[in-house]
């Protein structure tokens, strides 16, 4: 296998790995959240709204796409056409790679507005891994770092 093909495969592997995002739902804990004390409040769901959770782009998708596009574009034409093809391929690959990364890291979430037993309203956004409806009795678990989750 020649060097260009090997480089292209490595870049593609990095791009796919860089787009992976660990999902954490209301029933999942990180190692740092285990054995940590959480405060618990109770309330009733007032409203639920679907939202889209976007993660910031790492840049891996755009850079990887630009490299792969530049390599692929450099095989177009001959002489100065190869340079133009490489530039156009890099631009198109970068845009495509960025779009793929953004699409791969988006997920569906819920914005849950809750009337606490204390009379105060709170809204918490989390992954849509549990179904909530208006009127549901819920509990809110809050860690010392301010991260909260809604559960039944």
Q: What is the mean pLDDT of the chain?
A: 80
In the chain, count of helices (H) and strands (E)? 3, 5
Q: Under 8 Å CB-to-CB from 149, ≥6 apart: which residues?
A: 26, 124, 126, 140, 141
The model's pLDDT over 54-92, given as tens digits with 9 standing for 90+, comes to 876 677 877 888 788 878 878 877 777 787 877 888 888
Residue ranges and CATH numbers for the domains of the chain are 1-23+57-105 (no CATH), 36-55+106-152 (2.40.50.590)
Please give the pLDDT value at position 20: 47
What is the C-alpha to C-alpha distance for residues 1 and 103, in angstroms, rounded to an integer? 32
Of the candidate ranges 10-14, 34-38, 137-141, the one whose mean pLDDT is the lowest: 10-14
Tokens of 76: 């177009």
């Amino acid at each position: 296998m020649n060097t260009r093909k090997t480089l292209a495969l490595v870049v593609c592997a990095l791009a796919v790995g860089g787009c992976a995002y660990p999902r954490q739902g209301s029933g999942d804990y990180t190692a740092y959240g285990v054995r940590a004390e959480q405060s618990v409040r109770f309330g009733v769901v007032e409203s639920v709204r679907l939202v889209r959770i976007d993660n910031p782009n790492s840049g891996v998708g755009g850079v990887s796409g630009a490299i792969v596009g530049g390599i692929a574009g450099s095989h177009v034409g001959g002489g100065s056409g190869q340079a133009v093809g490489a530039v156009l391929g890099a631009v198109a690959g970068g845009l495509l790679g960025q779009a793929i990364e953004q699409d791969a890291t988006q997920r569906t979430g819920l914005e849950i507005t809750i009337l606490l037993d204390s009379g105060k309203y709170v809204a918490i956004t989390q992954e849509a891994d549990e179904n909530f409806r208006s009127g549901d009795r819920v509990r809110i678990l809050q860690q010392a770092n301010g991260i909260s989750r809604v559960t039944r």
